[in-house]
A and B are shown apart, each in its own frame.
Chain A
């Protein structure tokens, strides 16, 4: 999809990402760096835990969801960074081989009061495995407005 300016989004729009699957090695490699707990790093040891097997770090699940959205190309060069994320909830474990599909809904759009070249867009992410909700979060991003033609 082509990159969009702030004006080209509307509240209530929903985008769906391509599915993505995390294999055992992806899960372990991420967790060894960022979430080194047995449930995420040790396929054998994880069997004896509350989760009865390896599960992905929740941080990896939200990263994958965000990356899949970025890969849609809607933000491209128009994102000016994100100041916030809210309400991250991990509702169910993600296991090796699960196909993650993420839907992204536009929650809010507003123009910046201080900078005329940009605005703020809030997005609600929901990630699903076989139709079951596994994680959700909302993001706040500064996004470029369409450049105005100088009449002069």
Chain B
């Protein structure tokens, strides 16, 4: 399947993703490699921390949401990488067994000044568990414009 071109990213358009549930094993697997702090790496040790139990690394929450976005197929074929993320805010802990739902909204889409066949897109991500929002962030993407493939 072919994903979206620049012109498909209308400001305000929403992208829905499939929910993902994080278990303790995956939280610890991620943290031991990428965020080895006591409240992320071990169920027992985490009990004696300020969080009184295991919580997911915020880096993992953002990565999970990114995986959810990629699996929608939106960038398939036309994505040209992502230069960055902005304004990552971790507002509530993610615990083992939490099911994460990620909603995405197009904030901005513009043609690149240096190359009219490409555009820059900014997306707002909101990640929630059953209790409410756990994280928000913005992703910047480079994507092909439709003109690029028109013969």
Contacts and interface: CB of A to CB of B under 8 A. Distances in A.
B58 A82 contact: yes
Interface residues of B, number: 39
A34 B64 contact: yes
Interface string B47-70: 001110001011110111011001
Interface string A9-48: 0000000000000000000000001111101000000000
B81 A67 contact: no
Interface string B86-105: 11111101000000000000
Contact of B51 (A35, A67, A81): A81
B34 A60 contact: yes
B21 interface: no
Interface string A45-89: 000001100000111101110110011000101011111111111
Contact of B34 (A66, A75, A83): A66
B81 A79 contact: no
A88 to B, nearest CB: 4
Contacts of A79: 37
Contacts of B82: 58, 90
B51 A70 contact: no
A90 B93 CA distance: 26
A83 B35 contact: no
B85 interface: yes
Interface of B: 26, 30, 33-39, 49-51, 55, 57-60, 62-64, 66-67, 70-71, 75, 79-91, 93
Interface of A: 33-37, 39, 50-51, 57-60, 62-64, 66-67, 70-71, 75, 77, 79-90, 137
